Amino acid sequence: MEKFLQEILDGVVNGDNHLVPEKVNEALEKGTPPETVLNEALIPAMAEVGQRFEAGEYFVPEMLISARAMKSALAILKPKLVKINFQSYGKIVVGTVKGDLHDIGKNLVSLMLEGAGFEVIDAGSDVAPEKFVEIAKANNADLIGLSALLTTTMTNMKTTVSALEQAGLKGKIKVMIGGAPVTEAYAAQIGADGYAEDASRAVALAKRLIDRP
């Protein structure tokens, strides 16, 4: 791995909020594609943080400062990743489900969808099922995208699908889900319309669900 990518990776793992933006800017100035910074440094860094947490080496404060460094890097990459494609594919409400505060993956998915030409309405994190339905209705959305990172909160994806059903909107507004503990099988089990493993697959799925190439 290039030295500067390793420095970015280590900087996020160590939560160094000064070094990370500096090195990301340096990498971009050298002509490194933003996708390379994202896929080879930032995403592996968060995986490493998760492993350290699991091993009992990191606790919530360390995860938080790493997340802050990751967000600073994403803020720099955003304008480079979102080269808005002016064809509007449709409207999608994206949020993290009730009880879940993890928003980095959700933000990344939103960013990629925006770049591909979707109009993204960011519902935020810890979003109640009724709130998703209310926002989707108010904005006349085509899709709802649900993110969950905890095994304890992924069940709120099902509750959100049920809330949509109760509002008589199931099928009219499609639901796609994603996040580390979620699977294709879980999507089928809860009656969601699709599952995507990562942000770029989320774009392909969203296009498929609203029947656009």
Check binding of 74 to ligand B1M (CB under 6 A).
Answer: no
Sequence-distant (6+) residues with CB within 8 A of 116 are: 85, 89, 203, 206, 207
168 vs 19, 147, 162, 172, 190, CA distance in Å? 50, 22, 10, 8, 16
Sequence-distant (6+) residues with CB within 8 A of 2 are: 32
Check binding of 108 to ligand B1M (CB under 6 A).
Answer: yes
Q: Are 196 and 178 in contact (CB under 8 A)?
A: yes
The least distance separating ligand B1M from the CB of residue 126, rounded to whole angstroms, comes to: 7
Residue 118 φ then ψ, to 5°: -85, 150
The least distance separating ligand B1M from the CB of residue 144, rounded to whole angstroms, comes to: 8
Binding mask 13-52 for ligand B1M (x = CB under 6 A): ------------------------------x--xx-xx--
Choose between 115 and 179: whose C-beta lies nearer to ligand B1M: 179
The least distance separating ligand B1M from the CB of residue 77, rounded to whole angstroms, comes to: 12
Interacting positions 54-73 with ligand B1M (CB under 6 A) = 54, 60, 63-64, 67
Tell me how far apart the alpha carbons of residues 154 and 140 are, in angstroms, rounded to a whole number: 25
Q: Return the structure tokens found at 80.
A: 């480079």
Check binding of 186 to ligand B1M (CB under 6 A).
Answer: no
Check binding of 1 to ligand B1M (CB under 6 A).
Answer: no
Check binding of 102 to ligand B1M (CB under 6 A).
Answer: yes
Choose between 27 and 46: whose C-beta lies nearer to ligand B1M: 46
Tell me how far apart the alpha carbons of residues 91 and 179 are, in angstroms, rounded to a whole number: 20
Check binding of 175 to ligand B1M (CB under 6 A).
Answer: no
Tell me how far apart the alpha carbons of residues 111 and 7 are, in angstroms, rounded to a whole number: 24
Check binding of 188 to ligand B1M (CB under 6 A).
Answer: no
162 vs 55, 129, 134, 153, 158, CA distance in Å? 37, 8, 14, 15, 6
| Near ligand B1M by CB under 6 A: residue from 20, 32, 37, 106 | 106
Q: For binding to ligand B1M (CB under 6 A), which residues are involved?
A: 43, 46-47, 49-50, 53-54, 60, 63-64, 67, 94, 99-106, 108-109, 145-147, 149-151, 176-181, 196, 198-199, 202
